[in-house]
């Protein structure tokens, strides 16, 4: 199956102001935007993306890459407290062949604990695109996750 990548910032769901409900944005500044994905693998599955529209990690400026790294470190501490995370999966897709469907670089941060799907006998295809449908999480639950994480970031 060939996917079309949305790669223009005026059509990008991460660049359009209303595409990500404001109440779901955990953190936003000139370098980063952080929010829970609306189809999580587990509760607390968060996306970190540069504010500037770029499609691959190679396009990040040094300060953007450092901001991503620093935020991941902060976020891991919060996800341990809020969701009891014992480990983490980090992933991003670059290019159609790798499954990138939104042309705005975004890094998945997935908190994991014993018994979660994908930990034992790990296969990246099953972890990222496990068979069957995942139900869309209601906005109310996503806002609750946003609030929980925001409370621990300060």
pLDDT in tens, 16-49: 867 677 888 999 999 999 999 988 888 999 999 9
Q: Among residues 45, 104, 106, 108, which one is catalytic?
A: 106
Whole-number pLDDT of residue 123: 53
Give CA–CA dist 32/71, Å, rounded.
9
Identify the sign of the CA torsion 37, 41, 46, 47: negative
Superfamily name with CATH number, domain 22-153: HIT-like (3.30.428.10)
- Looking at 32-36, 75-79, 84-88, 94-98, which range is the least confident one? 94-98
Q: Where are the domains positioned within the chain?
A: 22-153
> Would residue 106 show up in a list of annotated catalytic residues for this protein?
yes
Task: Please compute the mean of the pLDDT values over residues 74-100 and round it to a whole number.
Answer: 92
């Amino acid at each position: 199956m060939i996917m079309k990548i949305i790669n223009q910032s005026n059509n990008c769901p991460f660049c359009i102001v209303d595409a990500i409900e404001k109440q779901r944005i955990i953190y936003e500044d000139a370098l980063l935007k952080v929010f829970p994905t609306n189809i999580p693998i587990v509760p607390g599955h968060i996306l970190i993306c540069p504010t500037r529209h770029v499609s691959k990690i190679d396009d990040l400026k040094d300060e953007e890459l450092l901001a991503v790294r620093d935020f991941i470190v902060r976020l891991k501490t919060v996800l341990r407290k809020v969701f009891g995370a014992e480990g983490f999966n980090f992933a991003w897709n670059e290019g159609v062949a790798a499954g990138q469907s939104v042309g705005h670089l975004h890094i998945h941060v997935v908190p994991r604990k014993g018994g979660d799907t994908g930990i034992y006998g790990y296969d990246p295809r099953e972890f990222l695109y496990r068979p069957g449908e995942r139900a869309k999480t209601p906005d109310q639950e996503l806002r609750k996750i946003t609030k929980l994480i925001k409370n621990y970031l300060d």
